[in-house]
Structure 1
Amino acid sequence: MTSSPLRPRAIPSRVPSAARNSCRPVVTGSRRGRTVLASVGLVAVLGLTACGAGGGNDDAASSGASGSGTAGAQQDRPNPDATPTVKVAPAADAGMVNPADPVVVSTDAGELADVSVTATGSGTRAEGALNEDRTEWRSSAPLEFGETYTVAYTARNGSHTTADRTAFSTVDAAHEADVSFDVKDGQTYGVWQVVELTFSEPVTEKDAVEKAVTVDGAHEKGRFRWYSDRKLRFRPEKPWAPNSTVKVSANILGTDLGNGMIGNGNKTVSFKTGAEQRAYVDNDTKTLVAYVNGKKTGSWPVTLGNPEWPSTTGKKVILEQAASYEFKASSLHLEPGDPHYYPPFDATNVSRLTWSGEFIHQALPSAWPLLGVANVSHGCVGMPPEGAAYIFKTFRPGDMVEVVNTDYPQANPDDGYGDWNIPFEHYSDEDWHGNW
């Protein structure tokens, strides 16, 4: 198993917050990098405009119009000797154009001899094609953000020619928004893994975003839950099927997220699930019992949080693991002389259960005589060496650890993946509150 550094987070030193019930808090910091973008209104310009012809005799014709960008050549076609009128969308000099919207150039007479749409900055030419009768050209791929595009065209009808160029600009960088996932492509997780999407900008058009997210996997039902305007989670009604593949797609390119923010790209990730693995930690018996695919594979005595730092109850999903991790009492605002102070030490075979600092780990040798007898930790599940090694080597992120009978509430569901403590029928109700 490959281990990665665990991320610390600071927590308050007193209850009632579940964050304080930890062996080792997490220092304040961002779990993910986010692009901070300004939030201003988006001007969506979808009108079409006719562009003037070049100079000289019968070819010097121009007109202005707005419409859908489709040609009228097949219906009520003008006199075959008429000078072509060309319509372009987006309109000339339009700004803040959504890069996902197509560029459409059409003529009402004759045919389009040439069309080009070119980015001024990069020099990239937009992809596109003419229809069968060459009366309409339409782009076939999204444009670039923060670019100015020049549309050049030539239309001919008999001896008459209309040629001109217009320009427009797309949504700038200050109005882009992106998304990241909590799962990595190709990796294997436990069947209780929750899918989390984090947006770089606040989302107010939440229905549109949910429609843009698809989850394909071995599950029958699933629901979304927003924990903030930036954090969206998805969980199935029941755990993912063991040894299966889950594909998550966020097709937000061009999606209006609200407040003038536009999704700047689509992202897809696929992950695999392993065996169905879970552990039960019972404070009454002070034991941890492990199960793999429903079969009991081990039982060990444990110590839980002491009365001043009790362990939270409920279903908790392993977030990350490390072979070694440093614990410091100072991160709990404990100084030498405090009865709860402990010298810094490197915990062994660590599996994180909450972001605020509850872990499964190997207990210090001084606590071994108390395993199965008394609670002496700061909220963690302390185990004998062989038990902690088994959990670290066999279990993985996404596996379930359920703690019962501590007579203390659950951790907040977003302090880790406490989503499984929420009844499925209430999962999408952000106002529903459980035992936390």
Structure 2
Amino acid sequence: MTASRHSSGTSPEGSRPGASFSASSDSPATTPGGAGAARGLTRRRLALGSVGLLAAVGLSACGADSGDDGGAEASGSAGASSSAKAPGVTVSPTADASMVNPVDPVVVTTDAGTLTDVTVTASSSGEKAEGAIGKDGTEWRSAKPLAFDETYTVDYTARSGDRDTTGQSVFSTVDAAHEADVSMNVKDGQTYGVWQVVEFNFSEPVSAKDAVEKAISVEGAHKDGAFRWYSDQKLRFRPSEPWTPRSTVKVSANILGTDLGNGMIGNGNKTVSFTTGPEQRAYVDNNAKTLVAYVDGKETGTWPVTLGDAEWPSTTGKKVILEQAASYKFNAGSLNLKPGDSHYYPPFDASNVSRLTWSGEFVHQALPSAYPVLGVANVSHGCVGMPPEGASYIYNTFRPGDMVEVVNTNYPQADPDDGLGDWNIPFQHYADENWHGNW
């Protein structure tokens, strides 16, 4: 805002220079002529006084015209008086304020005259905040967000006429205990399958969920989409239909300065751009015990598989590949199996691995001992075991974000957050975190 200026009062008019005179102290004469003679004398003295006055005025004017400024200086000094108002200065944030949101601007204003100097200095680094005085000179405003967990000193000077006001004000920003940041499960510049779901993980619980959703933008490769909260710290976004193949998606979480609730403030923005590959999915049917691969709607291969046995059945539903590895160590201990248990197996390195759930379902190359039962019987602990050529094809052709759908195991789906099972939720129910499907 711009503070108004107050006009100053006018200076009192100085007395004009001239010859001074006074009446004669002679009392009326008692001599001949009496009062008449006295009046005559007074008139003569007044006349002489008038001549002296005119002469003085004439000399003063001639002196000024001739360049002699002695009389002018005397006149100026006699009439000079400073009536300018000492400028008042207001600083926002107020002095000694704490937990100031770093995105809130620092504003210094004066109600009279103009600001001549303003600096905002960080105590720990000595760095000066960027900012500028406005065109009318009455306001200074910072140009960029400040640092978190920092103390700032504001020094200012304002001038009105020949009156200066200087001062200092100190405040501090949101401390480290009330900062919150966000991370994503997609990386900048990477290529993902068209079924990729974008996940946001917050370092602190979020209660102002509407504000966070408004701070996030998703551009490109889709017509519409929706958010779903899996916890106060985990938020996901998926389009209503798979992303457009071979396109670019830009995701921005602009939470800097956003109040996340519970006194937590977002401490930084994050933007990620990724591309999508071709539309790729695999269809695993327990009845046929096969995996059929499709690329852009065309079948590209069929292989026999083994799934989870009766005690460790494979979950059903749509599962998105989370990560891949040429070799991955499997350990029965991760399933709480110990030597001597009927399902225990010694640790081994699986080949051509594509993870489907965080709890431990994978597509991978089966152990040689399982080759005879591929396409015939289920002997795994929930994984999709494939022959070497099939597992190699999935590993080398598919990528994270591609789909593997498993059907006919007579077992429920995995929880949607045990991986990226979001595509098992009808889109019309996706935003309703209380909606529950077959899991």
TM-score by length of 1: 0.82
Other structure's SS at 2:281 match: strand
Other structure's SS at 2:205 match: coil
Match of 1:240 in 2: 243
Displacement, 1:141? 0.2
State yes or no: 1:155 paired with 2:141.
no
Displacement, 1:280? 0.2
Match of 2:310 among 307, 311, 315: 307
Displacement, 1:396? 0.2
Query: What are the residue-to-residue correspondences of 1:6-405 with 2, within 5 Å?
Result: 70-73=1-4, 77-79=6-8, 81-405=84-408
Displacement, 1:305? 0.4
Alpha-carbon distance in structure 2 between the residues aligned to 1:84 and 1:330:
76
Percent identity, please.
76
Stretches of structure 1 that go unaligned for 5 or more consecutive residues are 1-69
Alpha-carbon distance in structure 2 between the residues aligned to 1:90 and 1:101:
9
Equivalent residues of 1:97, 1:170 under 8 A apart: yes
Displacement, 1:341? 1.9
Alpha-carbon distance in structure 2 between the residues aligned to 1:181 and 1:344:
32
Displacement, 1:78? 4.0
Other structure's SS at 2:249 match: strand
Alpha-carbon distance in structure 2 between the residues aligned to 1:314 and 1:156:
73
Displacement, 1:370? 0.5
Displacement, 1:338? 2.3
Match of 2:43 in 1: none
**Deviation sequence 1:222-261 (CA, Å, 0-9, x none):** 1001100100100000111111111111111111111111
Q: Which amino acid aligns with 1:394?
A: T
Equivalent residues of 1:255, 1:262 under 8 A apart: yes
Structure 1 residues 101 and 274, CA, compared in 2 at 3 Å: closer, same or farther? same
Equivalent residues of 1:426, 1:432 under 8 A apart: yes
Displacement, 1:83? 1.6
Equivalent residues of 1:183, 1:269 under 8 A apart: yes
Other structure's SS at 2:141 match: strand
Displacement, 1:397? 0.3
**Deviation sequence 1:288-342 (CA, Å, 0-9, x none):** 0000001100000000000000000000000000111111223222233322122
Stretches of structure 2 that go unaligned for 5 or more consecutive residues are 10-83
Other structure's SS at 2:370 match: helix
Q: Which amino acid aligns with 2:8?
A: N
Alpha-carbon distance in structure 1 between the residues aligned to 2:340 and 2:167:
82
Alpha-carbon distance in structure 1 between the residues aligned to 2:325 and 2:231:
29
- Of structures 1 and 2, the one with the larger relative CO (CA 8 A, separation 6+) is 1
**Deviation sequence 1:384-410 (CA, Å, 0-9, x none):** 000000000000000000000111000
Alpha-carbon distance in structure 1 between the residues aligned to 2:360 and 2:156:
63
**Deviation sequence 1:97-151 (CA, Å, 0-9, x none):** 1101000001111111111111111101000111111111100100011111111
Q: Root-mean-square deviation (CA), in Å? A: 1.0
Q: Which amino acid aligns with 1:308?
A: E
Equivalent residues of 1:78, 1:108 under 8 A apart: no
Q: Which amino acid aligns with 1:249?
A: S
Alpha-carbon distance in structure 2 between the residues aligned to 1:304 and 1:272:
32
In the alignment of these two chains, the number of paired residues is 365
Q: Which amino acid aligns with 1:123?
A: G
Alpha-carbon distance in structure 1 between the residues aligned to 2:178 and 2:339:
50
Alpha-carbon distance in structure 2 between the residues aligned to 1:129 and 1:169:
21
TM-score by length of 2: 0.82
Alpha-carbon distance in structure 2 between the residues aligned to 1:162 and 1:330:
74
Q: As a proportion of its length, which structure holds more helix? A: 2
**Deviation sequence 1:23-63 (CA, Å, 0-9, x none):** xxxxxxxxxxxxxxxxxxxxxxxxxxxxxxxxxxxxxxxxx
Other structure's SS at 2:346 match: coil
Displacement, 1:160? 1.3
Match of 2:429 among 384, 409, 426: 426
Other structure's SS at 1:390 match: helix
Q: Which amino acid aligns with 1:71?
A: T
Q: Which amino acid aligns with 1:286?
A: K
Alpha-carbon distance in structure 2 between the residues aligned to 1:328 and 1:145:
44
Displacement, 1:343? 2.1
